[in-house]
A and B are shown apart, each in its own frame.
Chain A
């Protein structure tokens, strides 16, 4: 018994010793956690550029002398591997790192819903670069901010563009039923489209991991009156959908949201089949503002390629928003940074000015309508929502 007791005592003593060692808190760098799907899945094609954009902004700020009197920003990137469990445990790892001031990341609503609540629970602000569900801040809480517009804005823009400019009055809608983003986008599109007087002939659903769309294609063929197909898809299936619709000899315009803003829409179907596709995305291509031009040249010099898509710009903006808030807060205190973020008004971002008005954490920003012809993406128009 005595030996057992001493074992227990010794163990307790060791633990006590470990506990009394003061937590080393590096006072110098300002740590930002960036959660992105980097190694697998279609989302990697938009998350990778986002992280590059965020890192570019970090470099620019650090080169200019850092924040709060010379403190450098340090981004810790965590790969969430296209797996929701990894997103949640990654967020846990992020919030438990010492000296973390804020989190940024994610280009998909489902992933943001998995990781952002853990930041919320610790009272750490989280700015998503590209998760677009407008009810995200409402679902997660006051620490959640969006650097991008909401899906309602881009879906309404597409509905109006299709009805008024393209003259499309009847559509077939395809929806990925395994993503929050695609479900929301379809709903907002149909709301506006029917409000304008358009008609939805058929609502079809599929799942993100689907590879064979022949059943949906034949149901689309069974609706000869359809003037376009609105395929609400994430980056995983966007290219496959275009390929299989075109291979079936259907030449209807294909409409989509910012999930199409990936090179997969031209590489998967090949340039010959990637035709007559319209999608909405975050504006920066057509913007000739100071920050947009700085970003374009900076990205080209840093990575040797022009920005792959608008998500690179969003990553840049998310990092910029956080840095701007830290600067205005004058400290790295969570509450102060959150307050400063919420007070953001007229921040000059690459993707349009950002202001969080009337307690909303979703900025109102311009929407770019893009057109794909033989794999080449070009800007059709930029729509600026009222208010």
Chain B
């Protein structure tokens, strides 16, 4: 019963967001809008990375690889068939003729990323320890290498450019809401609980009948899906994608967002994602004025160190602070079960 006002508050926040999106698209110029969209995309990425790195306690660096896959697949699927022979003359017949609208193209991109995650996850996630970090790091380079050398599909190192500007603030907002909603539901479902159980104590979870490998693969694949979609959104916002668009440095930025926000906290990851994106963008003019290129990266690293020293749990730890309650003004809610409202004891 405690869930109902929660949903109401979520809907209220979502509609308030929609009003803001409407206002923003009506008043702001393209450049500011694109920054807001980058914020939204990074929120999607941080929150979806949180499923593996936060909930299940696996250390994945694979998001850039999934974004590259999602980006290329979405771009190839949604490209105008009239432009395809120009850009990609060696594309196989069935791909050259296919033309999907944006939504199915994004979903296809996400699905292909998911498929790759399952294939990679199947052998790796059966092992104990930090094998996933190494494997996903390798995956970034494998995907990059493939993108450079699969000339017929990707136009090699040149990348695909002049893509149609399909991504709008509405698309980003919609996917962001979906990501937040799915993650929220997941965290408070029995599946989410088994993920948390695996993170806390793998052996104990296995003794309770949790199928460890299956749950891990599921969480890894779900994160990959949203990363793939975010890659598609990114490519059609920037209007191009190249093999080097998403480097492994980007993976670290995403990990930083999750760590800063609090590993396992959806609110934390979302807030850290938004704040870091805005901060990097706002520091650009400062960097330019002082001639200190790269200063924003240094500040980011210092911030991470400070958080790790003084607040190892991140901003919110595992908790979901009642931000929605401020919007919905629903006082006196019963605390949701373990892990979300109560701080975990360390």
Interface-side segment among B23-31, B52-60, B221-229? B23-31
Q: Are A95 and B327 in contact (CB under 8 A)?
A: no
Question: Which of chain A's residues have a CB closer than 8 A to the CB of B238?
Answer: 84-85, 88-89
In the assembled complex, the CB of A49 is this many whole angstroms from the nearest CB of chain B, namely 20
Q: How far is the CA of A180 from the CA of B239 in the complex (A)?
A: 17
Interface-side segment among A4-12, A236-244, A308-316, A328-336? A4-12
Q: Are A18 and B161 in contact (CB under 8 A)?
A: no
Known: A8-B16, A12-B19, A15-B19. A180 touches B162 (CB 8 A): no
Whose C-beta in chain A lies nearest to the C-beta of B13? A4
| Contacts between chains A and B (CB distance < 8 A), count | 87
Interface-side segment among B42-50, B115-123, B152-160? B152-160
Question: Which of chain B's residues have a CB closer than 8 A to the CB of A95?
Answer: 30
The reply on A40 being an interface residue by CB < 8 A is yes
Interface residues of B in 3-46 (CB under 8 A from A): 12, 15-16, 19-20, 22-23, 26-27, 29-32, 34
In the assembled complex, the CB of B233 is this many whole angstroms from the nearest CB of chain A, namely 14
Q: Are B23 and A96 in contact (CB under 8 A)?
A: no
Interface residues of A in 10-29 (CB under 8 A from B): 11-12, 15-16, 18-19
Q: Are A177 and B240 in contact (CB under 8 A)?
A: no
The reply on B165 being an interface residue by CB < 8 A is yes
In the assembled complex, the CB of B232 is this many whole angstroms from the nearest CB of chain A, namely 15
Q: Are B27 and A19 in contact (CB under 8 A)?
A: yes
Q: Are B23 and A12 in contact (CB under 8 A)?
A: yes
Q: How far is the CA of A12 from the CA of B34 in the complex (A)?
A: 22
Q: Are B12 and A4 in contact (CB under 8 A)?
A: yes
Contact pick for B29, options A12, A18, A96, A183, CB 8 Å: A96
Q: Are B242 and A84 in contact (CB under 8 A)?
A: yes
Known: A92-B34, A96-B31. A7 touches B156 (CB 8 A): no
The reply on A93 being an interface residue by CB < 8 A is yes
Q: How far is the CA of A179 from the CA of B30 in the complex (A)?
A: 28
Question: Which of chain B's residues have a CB closer than 8 A to the CB of A180?
Answer: 158
Q: How far is the CA of A117 from the CA of B164 in the complex (A)?
A: 9
Q: How far is the CA of A183 from the CA of B161 in the complex (A)?
A: 16
Question: Which of chain B's residues have a CB closer than 8 A to the CB of A89?
Answer: 31, 34, 238
Q: How far is the CA of A88 from the CA of B27 in the complex (A)?
A: 21
Q: Are B19 and A88 in contact (CB under 8 A)?
A: no
In the assembled complex, the CB of A237 is this many whole angstroms from the nearest CB of chain B, namely 13
Known: A96-B31, A118-B239, A178-B156. A8 touches B23 (CB 8 A): no
The reply on A323 being an interface residue by CB < 8 A is no
The reply on B329 being an interface residue by CB < 8 A is yes
Q: Are A79 and B288 in contact (CB under 8 A)?
A: yes
The reply on B321 being an interface residue by CB < 8 A is no
Question: Which of chain A's residues have a CB closer than 8 A to the CB of B138?
Answer: none
Question: Which of chain A's residues have a CB closer than 8 A to the CB of B20?
Answer: 11, 15
Question: Which of chain B's residues have a CB closer than 8 A to the CB of A177?
Answer: 156-157
The reply on B86 being an interface residue by CB < 8 A is yes
Whose C-beta in chain A lies nearest to the C-beta of B15? A8
Q: How far is the CA of A249 from the CA of B15 in the complex (A)?
A: 71
Question: Which of chain A's residues have a CB closer than 8 A to the CB of B245?
Answer: 84-85
The reply on B328 being an interface residue by CB < 8 A is yes
The reply on A147 being an interface residue by CB < 8 A is no
The reply on B170 being an interface residue by CB < 8 A is no
Contact pick for A114, options B31, B156, B240, B293, CB 8 Å: B240
Question: Which of chain B's residues have a CB closer than 8 A to the CB of A162?
Answer: none
In the assembled complex, the CB of A5 is this many whole angstroms from the nearest CB of chain B, namely 10
Question: Which of chain B's residues have a CB closer than 8 A to the CB of A88?
Answer: 238-240
Q: Are A139 and B23 in contact (CB under 8 A)?
A: no
Q: How far is the CA of A89 from the CA of B38 in the complex (A)?
A: 11
The reply on A220 being an interface residue by CB < 8 A is no
Question: Which of chain B's residues have a CB closer than 8 A to the CB of A183?
Answer: 158
Residues of A that sit less than 8 Å from B by CB: 3-4, 7-8, 11-12, 15-16, 18-19, 39-40, 79, 84-85, 88-89, 92-93, 95-97, 110, 113-114, 117-118, 121, 139-140, 177-180, 183, 207-208
Residues of B that sit less than 8 Å from A by CB: 12, 15-16, 19-20, 22-23, 26-27, 29-32, 34, 86, 148, 156-159, 161-162, 165, 238-240, 242, 245, 288, 293, 327-329
The 4 A-B pairs with the shortest beta carbon distances in the complex, nearest first, are A15-B23, A178-B157, A96-B29, A93-B31
19 A/B residue pairs, CB under 8 Å, sorted by A: A4-B327, A8-B16, A11-B20, A12-B23, A15-B22, A15-B23, A16-B23, A85-B240, A85-B245, A88-B238, A88-B239, A88-B240, A89-B31, A89-B34, A92-B30, A96-B32, A114-B240, A117-B239, A183-B158
